[in-house]
Structure 1
Amino acid sequence: MEVLAAIVILSIIFVGIMTIFPQMTQFNAKTGTKLDTMNLARHEVAEVVAGDKWNSLLVPDYLAITKISQEMTALGYQLKTTNPDFLRFEKQGDYRYETDIYLKCQTDSATLTQCEVTDKIKLYKVHLKVYGGSQLSSETYSYIPYRVESSGE
């Protein structure tokens, strides 16, 4: 009788432990997907902001918007939204990439005076999101440097 009771108790414990394994497998799969999309987001934002393509970027006006659109199109993006504050681009593949480039000057300080100074390097903020299906899977931020040309040039 004691052996039978011990077997029943061990069976209950064993069944309880076995129900954890499928949940752990599902959690590991989600974690792996999240890590993959984080790496994809980092790689994609590095391609967006990398290189010499932004060296000729002018002040944030229609010329800069045209240059940004050309460079993003060359990377396989399509312009989806124009707004006075940002441009939104989208790229389809195994995942959907959505990239917002904010057109307002970003600086390290809280004052806007640095944005008004010419011949200084300024920054456009880039917000890249990676979607798996319709669900946001990962996102990252970076900056595109640009130089404001003085009016005397």
Structure 2
Amino acid sequence: MPSIVDRPAQPYVAERATVAIEEFPRIADRLPPLIGTLAGHGIAPAGPPFFRYRVRHPGMRFTVEAGVPIEGGFDPDEPAFPGELPAGKYVLDTYVGAPDGLAAATAAVLAWGAREGVTWDRTEGPGGEEWGCRLEVLRTNPLEVPDPTRWVTDLLFRLAD
């Protein structure tokens, strides 16, 4: 069952792409090089990597960032860029399973929010539904747990202020 949690602001480094679901590996595959770039500069991740959904476009396309939290600042070479996840109240739900179940897990959280009367940090923009902060935090390292049915992902959706 989802819960509401407070989260502090969190600096991160990311790359961004607009993809359809079937193209998602194109952005997901950017995480290992990002982590490698940080390691090459002596920077350890300050938490698990994540996907930040910025815009849900018509036709089930998404502008997504593949990000790695860091402590302090770092100015990476393009196409990577620095960012900050906003502080605030978030709905948190934890999903265990393969990535192909994440859409249903997300739909369940959104339905729960509708029943509970929560107001999400999202607006309708010219390109689609824009989210202030909507995350999939990857708590399982696939190199350590190769069975995707055992992967743990935190779904975090920021509430409107």
Q: TM-score, normalised by structure 2?
A: 0.25
Q: Which has the higher contact order (CA 8 A, sep 6+)?
A: 2
Larger Rg: 1
Q: TM-score, normalised by structure 1?
A: 0.26
Greater percentage in strand: 2
Greater percentage in helix: 1
